[in-house]
Structure 1
Amino acid sequence: MPPVTPLSRAAQLAIAALGLCGLAGGWLIVAGRGFHHAPHRYTRATTFVDGAPAALMAALMFVLAALCAAALLQHWRAARWAQVLCGAAVLLPPLAVFLAR
């Protein structure tokens, strides 16, 4: 196995920013019960997407946030239980909101 190259501060910051954007995007989709989609760049007409496609997009955003958190914790050599706890802290609240609706 090749040696692991440590992440620079800029890479850690980029991963953290990506994870925070994923977390914020997922909660925006959950709070708005969907999202607006523009078919192409130069139009003002949008389509509201809700239901299963919105739930899938929110789930993808939350998984992105959990993976970013796990990557940072693994880089910082956190214990395995801390990684699992962090993943649960990111994924369980939206799951509870989804099941409560």
Structure 2
Amino acid sequence: MNVFEVIEKPLVSEKALKLKEQAVSSNQVIALRVAKKSDKADIKNAVELLFNVKVKSVNTMNYEGKKVRRGRYTGKKNDWKKAYVTLASGYSINDYLESL
């Protein structure tokens, strides 16, 4: 899988912003929305290549799309995947964190 296809966008949620505020240089965590078919190794390689950092661990979660209804029509939003990437001590992504 291509490096640019793995990471879709950064997540801006209450939990992600709380992790940003509590970020200590030894345990910095970033939240990303990633491709559904990517695995932990793909995510680790993509973050290391794009941001020039060392990744300590990757935790992923799969989410089902919500059911929606518009009048008499029903449907479903797309399923998606979230990843929390923990950086190794001494590494940080300051430009990324400041942009949130």
Q: Name the structure with the higher strand share.
A: 2
Given the two structures, how large is their TM-score scaled by the length of structure 2? 0.22
More contact order relative to length (CA 8 Å, sep ≥ 6): 2
Normalising by structure 1, what TM-score? 0.22
The structure richer in helix per residue is 1
Q: Higher Cα Rg: structure 1 or 2?
A: 1
